[in-house]
Amino acid sequence: MTQIDVNQLNQAKANVTLTQDLLTKAIEKANSDPTLAQEAIKQASNEISSALTAVTQVQKSSQVQSTE
């Protein structure tokens, strides 16, 4: 039976939640503080990458376990 790393999925979920907050901040600051908005977008991009990495690792691990 395939085991899923729930900790990694929870980490990915946290990354996505933080991404949502950062994008909301970027939208709110887009006109008043473009520099802050750009920084929030950059951080959001990093969080998306981290979430994707965690999900990909879980997926690969599941695939390896299912072939064994």
**In a structure prediction context, what are the per-residue pLDDT tens digits for the chain, which is 68 residues long?**
678 899 999 999 999 999 999 999 999 999 999 999 999 999 999 999 999 999 999 999 888 877 76
Rounded distance, CA 13 to CA 51, Å?
A: 7
Q: Are 8 and 60 in contact (CB under 8 A)?
A: no
Residue ranges per domain, the chain? Answer: 6-58
Q: What is the pLDDT of residue 32?
A: 97
Q: What is the pLDDT of residue 10?
A: 97
Tokens representing 43 are 């951080």
Residue 33: partners with Cβ closer than 8 Å, 6 or more residues away: none
